[in-house]
Amino acid sequence: MKSYAREIRKMLETLGLARKPRGWSGTFLAGVGVGAVAAVLLTPSNGKEVRKIVRSKAKLVAGTAEKKIAAITAITSGAVNGARKQVHA
């Protein structure tokens, strides 16, 4: 039964009558963006307070991202160097 449904779905996608399933990450990020905008617009704080909050959260996110990027860079560079040694050995 699943193969029949899969074939029907493929045929509908080919005809342009059904969209191919996509990842949820784009939808999730759009939802996060909409939620953030709604929160800023609906907050009872004044503009100066909102900017201060946004600035502090942005710095926190940037710091976390930098730490994760540094960790990933260290891991991948170690793996690349190990692979190079194996190739040249």
List the beta strands (DSSP E) in 1-89.
none
Task: Dump pLDDT digits (tens) for 35-71.
Answer: 888 887 787 878 788 888 888 988 988 998 898 888 8
Q: What are phi and psi of 17, to 5 degrees?
A: -95, -5
Q: What pLDDT band is residue 1 in, cutting at 50, 70 and 90?
A: low
Q: Which pLDDT belongs to residue 21?
A: 66
Q: Which pLDDT belongs to residue 22?
A: 67
DSSP assignment, residue 20? P
Query: Which residues, at least 6 apart from 43, have a Cβ–Cβ distance to it below 8 Å?
Result: 50
Task: Dump pLDDT digits (tens) for 12-31.
Answer: 877 777 776 667 777 787 88
Q: Looking at residues 69-87, what average pLDDT do you find?
A: 82
Q: What are the Cα distances from residue 76, in Å, to 7, 23, 43, 72, 80?
A: 40, 25, 42, 6, 6
List the chain domain ranges. Answer: 1-42, 46-89
Task: Name the residue with higher pLDDT: 9 or 58.
Answer: 58
pTM for this model (two decimals):
0.43
